[in-house]
Amino acid sequence: MKMNGAGVWLRGISGAVMAFLYLPILVLTVFSFNDSRLSAVWQGFSWHWYGVLWHDAALLAAAANSLLVGVLSTSLVVLLGLPAAMGLERLRGKGVRVVETIFLLPLILPEVMMGVALLLFFVMVRWPLSLATVVIGHAAFNLPVVVVLVRARLQKLDPRLEEAARDLGASAWETFYRITWPLIRPAVLGAALLAFTISLDDFIVTFFVAGPGSTTLPLRVYSMIKSGLSPEINALSSLLVLLSMGLVGLSLVLQRR
């Protein structure tokens, strides 16, 4: 294909941006296979650091915490977000925009603010910081994510389908169970996967609301870096990148259906 000058430039700039975004991750991944104590010099291929990961008890505990928080906060957020999205979709009148904005505010609110606010809240109600407060914190910033994604699907749903079900004798619950739910299920699962991924990766809010014994994976990585860069972190980060990409990819596939 023959390209004009603008085309060449566009390709060049796109390539540079992609490199800027992904080169560090690529380097990190490559060096996770480095057979050396020091991160900077390539000494040959090895699975060694992945083995070290597997025997790091503190790290495994943090991973278990992260998974637990992810599963619980995602469940909570779907249980709250699905009815919220359906409610917003049915709402008519002047107040709708206001309610909608309030729901979506956490998406644009600086995360530090959310972290501080949640911490102050838990202190105020005298709720000791624990895994439970982390779960609630994650649910707080993931709720708008689920609401937005589920609503996007609901808006594409023909309202006549629910009317048709009612017309054919279905109760409100039967209409949801037989018609609405099967049609929005992929979008809800996709939203849940995305929320799970965000929960798994979150550092800032978790940093504020985690108590002793509720260290999650990102918090553990942070404390490991403080005691010096080890290729073990490279290995761990590579695994997290792989997991996140996989989950987000799956989420996108589900939402496109």
Partner 1 sequence: MNDLSIDIRALVKRHGETVAVDHVSLQIRRGEFFSLLGPSGAGKTSLLRMLAGFETPDAGEIHIDGRSMADVPPNRRPVNLVFQSYALFPHMTVAGNVAFGLEMQRVPRGEIAGRVEATLELVRLSDKRDRMPGQLSGGEQQRVALARALVNRPAVVLLDEPLAALDQQLRQQMQSELKSIQVQVGITFVCVTHHQEEALALSDRLAVMRQGRVMQVGRPEDLYERPENLFVARFVGASNEIEGVLASVEAGTGDLLPQGLAPMRGIRVSVPAGLQSGAPVVMTVRPERIRVTPGQGAEAGGNCLHGVVETMRYIGSEWQGVVRIGESVRWTIHAPNAGSGNRPVAVGAPVLLHWSPDDGVVIPLI
Note whether 189 binds partner 1 by CB under 8 A.
no
- Report the C-alpha gap between 155 and 88 in whole angstroms: 11
Note whether 225 binds partner 1 by CB under 8 A.
no
- Report the C-alpha gap between 223 and 215 in whole angstroms: 10
Note whether 155 binds partner 1 by CB under 8 A.
no
Q: Which of 152, 164, 252, 253 binds partner 1 (CB under 8 A)?
A: 164
Note whether 156 binds partner 1 by CB under 8 A.
no
CB atoms within 10 A of CB 211: 15
Tell the smallest beta-carbon distance from residue 134 to partner 1 (Å): 37
CB atoms within 10 A of CB 119: 18
Q: Which of 92, 167, 226, 228 binds partner 1 (CB under 8 A)?
A: 167
Tell the smallest beta-carbon distance from residue 187 to partner 1 (Å): 13
Note whether 160 binds partner 1 by CB under 8 A.
yes
Nearer to partner 1, 114 or 150 (CB): 150
C-alpha dihedral, 32 to 36 to 41 to 47, nearest 10°: -30
Q: Which of 14, 43, 155, 171 binds partner 1 (CB under 8 A)?
A: 171
Residue 167 has, within 13 A of its CA and on its CB side, a CA count of 6
Note whether 257 binds partner 1 by CB under 8 A.
no
Cβ-based neighbours of 243, under 8 Å, separated by 6 or more: 200
Tell the smallest beta-carbon distance from residue 41 to partner 1 (Å): 57
- The footprint of partner 1 on this chain (CB under 8 A) covers a number of residues equal to 17
The secondary structure of residue 179, as a DSSP letter, is I
User: CB under 8 A: which stretch of 3-11, 48-56, 69-77, 175-183 binds partner 1?
Assistant: 175-183
Nearest Cα neighbor of 238 from 26, 34, 60, 65 is 26
CA gyration radius, the chain? 23
User: Using an 8 Å Cβ cutoff, are 67 and 131 in contact?
Assistant: no
Tell the smallest beta-carbon distance from residue 176 to partner 1 (Å): 13
Nearer to partner 1, 35 or 174 (CB): 174
Nearer to partner 1, 58 or 164 (CB): 164
CA 197-180-90 angle, to 5 degrees, is 90
Nearest Cα neighbor of 154 from 93, 250, 81, 79 is 81
User: CB under 8 A: which stretch of 52-60, 64-72, 76-84, 161-169 binds partner 1?
Assistant: 161-169
Nearer to partner 1, 158 or 212 (CB): 158
Q: Which residues make up the interface to partner 1 (CB under 8 A)? A: 158, 160-161, 163-171, 174, 178-179, 182-183
